[in-house]
Amino acid sequence: MTNDTQIPLNIKYTLTPIKTKIAFTAGIVLAFFAILGVTGTTISWAYFMIIVVFAILAIVYWHFADSIIKKNQEDKARSELLNEIKSDIKFIKNKLEGDNNGPT
């Protein structure tokens, strides 16, 4: 087995739980409303709803971005593992053919 790349077989990208995403986004929105309250700024219901809609869109975007990153990480790990297996096969093939120099 070559030591070029040591890839653990259990490479995983953990998705952030949806509850954590909601809590984090809600904390930011509540902090924003707290700042508005401390400064005495009043906003209409329309602006309130716009802020809520943007918070929901942020959660949805975060979820899809997280899923895409996870898929890319898994594909990359799978590709690297496949390359390592190919290298090992070349090494074994060369050993069987009598070439002791290792992979080419």
Whose CA is closest to 32, among 21, 22, 43? 43
pLDDT digits (tens, 9 = 90+) for 83-102: 888 988 888 888 888 766 65
pLDDT at residue 10, as a whole number: 57
Residue pair 98/15 in contact by the 8 Å Cβ criterion: no
pTM (two decimals): 0.57
What are 34-78's pLDDT values in tens digits? Answer: 888 888 888 888 888 898 899 999 989 988 888 888 888 888 888
Q: Predicted confidence band at 2 (pLDDT cuts at 50, 70, 90)?
A: very low
Comparison of pLDDT for 98 and 31, the residue scoring more: 31
- DSSP alpha helix (H) spans, the chain: 18-39, 45-96
| Residue 4 pLDDT > 50 | no
What pLDDT score does 44 carry? 86
pLDDT of residue 57: 92
For tokens 């990359």, what's the residue? 76
